[in-house]
Amino acid sequence: MNSHSPKNSPMSDILAARVEHRISEYAAGCRGIVCALSGGADSVSMLFLLKTVLPPHDISLSACHVNHNLRGAESDRDEEFCRKLCQRLGIEFFSESVDVAALVRKTGASTEEAARELRYKALLSHVGADMLLATAHNADDNAETVLFNMIRGTGLRGLCGIPARRDSIIRPILDIRRAEVEEYLSELGETYVTDSTNLTDDYSRNRIRHILIPAAEGINSGAVDAIDRLAAIVTETEEYFSEVLSGVSGDLRRYPAAVRKRFISRFLGDNHIPADNRRINETDSCITAGNGKICVSDGVYLRVMNGELSLQKDEDIPDISVKIDTPLTGFTAELAEYDKKVTIICGKGEIFPPHGKVNKNLTNNVLDCGKIRGTVYLRNRREGDRIAFAGRGFHKSVRKYFNELKLTERERRTALFLEDSTGIIWSEYGGIAEGVRPDENTGDDRYILITASYVPRL
């Protein structure tokens, strides 16, 4: 075909009406659309359809091709095809060259992931204010996405498939089948290029396209349409729940499980935390219990207090310093910021079990209160802290000791200590200092047991 406009055809009128509906619904206020043009049948048909539909809307049309440099001469062929097509149609054309292989080597991402990241970055660089990027995802792509997400173990959101519009990206031919696209181009007398990698089963999506979809259509010839209808129904459901979630706050225990879990999923997504089913259920269990805490990465935690979900980071942990009255007769403190409970018990009879059988960990936390000097404080770690542990006879840097224990950053920052006027007399990790070690002169009323245990804030 040599004209600058697509000729009329039966399929042309049908598909143009569908694209017109998409543009009217999702491109209001748009002044320009950039067509992502690969040269394949889908993107070529979208280019022709947009050229037909856009003029009455006063929306300009341009096209951009991204050369991934993965298929040698074939990649260059595709770029040249797109360039000549746009020249023939009088459409402004841009091309971008990206190095997918280099990104794969640098990040370890798959070729598919790296290509997608670079492709969208290149395409969106040509999308200015009040403009949209049009990608040629069709109805078959949508069904394949739903199946792909199902196989990976998605929640309902994954069953929504590909959105017709997200941010500055629009999919004008999302409700058009691949067979319709090919029929449309055939009626126009237009050609297109074929990416040879789409013909293999090397990629997951290709296996779904070449194996699963034909098998499904062998059971139901309308399988793709059925899957797309399912995606539309689930999308409506998710949109409803999105409105419901806008009013959810406070104690989540008062909401049904379906609302709680959707709230958790959105909360995780908003905080860029992977929202798999295991993590959602684990978080929901903490909510139904009322309190709990889950580590999601080094120094980042999901925290539930009285049914309310929040995110806690190590940098949010404050320093503490609690004065303890002397002489010591007993003490209990719950440190909410540290999720710990510290208990001091006095008296040998309450500390040691019958027959004096005491394990090493216990005796490491028993001291002689008669050897305590001055005011006693319970506190967290300070820079430059040193301690002479019982039985070692020398002072050692707390930092070096913690390095030997391979404590996490949070364990280091929330480690608890007792100090008197002479220095540290007890460490949560390591036990008592030599200076307060019980000996043969320690009376029964001078034994003290110190314990620190994890406890969720109530």
Residues 373 and 290 both lie in one domain: no
> Is there a single domain that holds both residue 414 and residue 431?
yes
15 and 138, same domain (yes or no) = yes
Please report whether residue 241 resides in a domain. Answer: no
In a domain, 5, yes or no: no
Q: What pLDDT sits at residue 294?
A: 87
Q: Is residue 175 part of a domain?
A: yes
Distance of CA 442 to the CA centre of its chain: 56
Position 242 in a domain: no
Provide the 3-class DSSP secondary structure of residue 59.
Answer: coil
pLDDT, position 6: 52
Are residues 365 and 268 located together in one domain of the fold? no
Q: Could you tell me if 384 and 413 lie in one domain?
A: yes
- CA dist 176 and 169 (Å) reads 17
Residue 141 CA to residue 415 CA, distance in Å, equals: 53
Same domain for 167 and 295: no
Cross-strand pairs, 293: 303
> Of the candidates 211, 236, 261, which is a domain's last residue?
236
Has residue 1 been placed in a domain? no
- 410 contacts 314 by C-beta, under 8 angstroms: yes
Q: Is residue 186, in this structure, part of any structural domain at all?
A: yes
Give the pLDDT score at 442. 84
Domain extent at residue 25: 10-236
Collapsed DSSP state (helix, strand, coil) of residue 332: strand
Which of 278, 170, 151, 165 is CA-nearest to residue 227? Answer: 151
Round to whole Å and give the CA distance between 178 and 380. Answer: 64
Domain C-terminal end among 274, 292, 315: 315
Question: How many CB atoms neighbour CB 271 within 10 A?
Answer: 12
H/E stretch holding 198 = none
Q: Which of 215, 236, 257 is the last residue of a domain?
A: 236
First-to-final CA distance of the chain:
75
- In this structure, the answer to whether residues 28 and 138 fall within a common structural domain is yes
Residue 30 pLDDT:
93
Could you tell me the CATH number of the domain that includes residue 92? 3.40.50.620
Peptide bond into 327 cis (omega under 30): yes
335 and 310 in a single domain? The answer is no
Please check whether residues 330 and 306 belong to one and the same domain: no
Query: Is 50 within a domain?
Result: yes
Assess whether 279 and 152 both reside in one domain: no
**208 and 333 share one domain:** no
Facing residues of 217 across strands?
A: none
Q: What is the mean pLDDT of each run of 10 residues along the chain (458 residues)?
A: 53 91 92 96 96 94 94 91 96 94 86 90 93 95 92 82 93 94 94 77 77 92 92 90 87 93 89 84 93 80 90 77 82 80 77 49 77 90 86 82 82 88 90 88 83 64
Within-domain flag for 438: yes
Per-residue tokens: 435: 């200076």
CB count within 10 Å of CB 398 equals 22
Question: How many independent structural domains does the chain possess?
Answer: 3
- 308 and 347, same domain (yes or no): no
